Structure 1
Amino acid sequence: MDFTSPSWPNLQGGNFMNFRCFSPLSVSRNLTSLPDFLAPMTEIIQCRMCHLQFPGEKCSRGRGFCIATENEVCMTGRIFKKDGTLWLTFMGCLEKCANVDKIKWSIYLVKFRCCRGYDLCNESL
């Protein structure tokens, strides 16, 4: 996906959760003496979800929770205006995610934070 393209993300269509980042999530295994078919692959993590939140306001679209599958993480994305002021925040579950700091997208700067350490870890990102 080309992050410099003005069509990323499709803000007019409200399609905020189709972001795809670069780094795949490495799945950790529970290393025990159990056979492979009994060893759990990964822990289930619950993430805060909000498709649209403006500064100083509550979540206005897509408020709730999502369950990150074994290939997903919790994420928080923020879009900043050119002058650095926060314009928009979105949160949810994402399959491929990488922590990025203020990459340029048209006249905006976009920041992603990803986590999987504990339930609702993306609330504090």
Structure 2
Amino acid sequence: MNKHFLLLFYLTCLIMETTSTRCIICHLRTRTDRCRRGFGVCHTQKNESCMSLKIFQNDTLQVLYTVCQKFCKNLKYDFNNRTYVHECCYYNSCNYKF
């Protein structure tokens, strides 16, 4: 019984790995630094994609935030002298680029 369960679990993980996209998680990264908070990996589920939020001030990147996001939409807006760029992508590790 345990062997069958382990085989089924392994096959489920394998199928999930091949059908989902691997995204990078980072809750705080600056242009000159590595990820300072929340580094990891997530796998997209139904209706999810990799997402990055970049915050610029005077055309210089200040902060990058990355996760798996449901119902992601590409957006760009300006607020308080900062530009916020919300981007969605659909291939492995695509959300961790400057």
Question: TM-score, normalization: structure 1?
Answer: 0.58
Moved over 4 A (4+): none
Question: Which 5+ residue runs of structure 1 have no aligned equivalent?
Answer: 1-42
Aligned pair partner of 1:59 in 3, 11, 35: 35
Aligned pair partner of 1:85 in 60, 63, 85: 60
Please report how far the alpha carbon of residue 47 of structure 1 lies from its aligned counterpart in structure 2 after TM superposition: 0.4
The answer on 1:123 being equivalent to 2:96 is: yes
Q: CA offsets, 1:8-61, max 9 Å, x none?
A: xxxxxxxxxxxxxxxxxxxxxxxxxxxxxxxxxxx2111011000011100000
Q: Distance in 1 between matches of 2:92 and 2:23?
A: 6
Question: TM-score, normalization: structure 2?
Answer: 0.73
Q: Distance in 1 between matches of 2:87 and 2:39?
A: 18
Aligned pair partner of 2:80 in 106, 119, 122: 106
More helix by share: 2
Count of matched residue pairs = 80
RMSD: 1.5
The answer on 1:48 being equivalent to 2:24 is: yes
More strand by share: 2
Please tell me the residue identity of whatever aligns with 2:80.
S
Q: Distance in 2 between matches of 1:107 and 1:80?
A: 9
Please report how far the alpha carbon of residue 122 of structure 1 lies from its aligned counterpart in structure 2 after TM superposition: 1.7
Q: Distance in 2 between matches of 1:70 and 1:121?
A: 18
Aligned pair partner of 1:70 in 46, 58, 62: 46
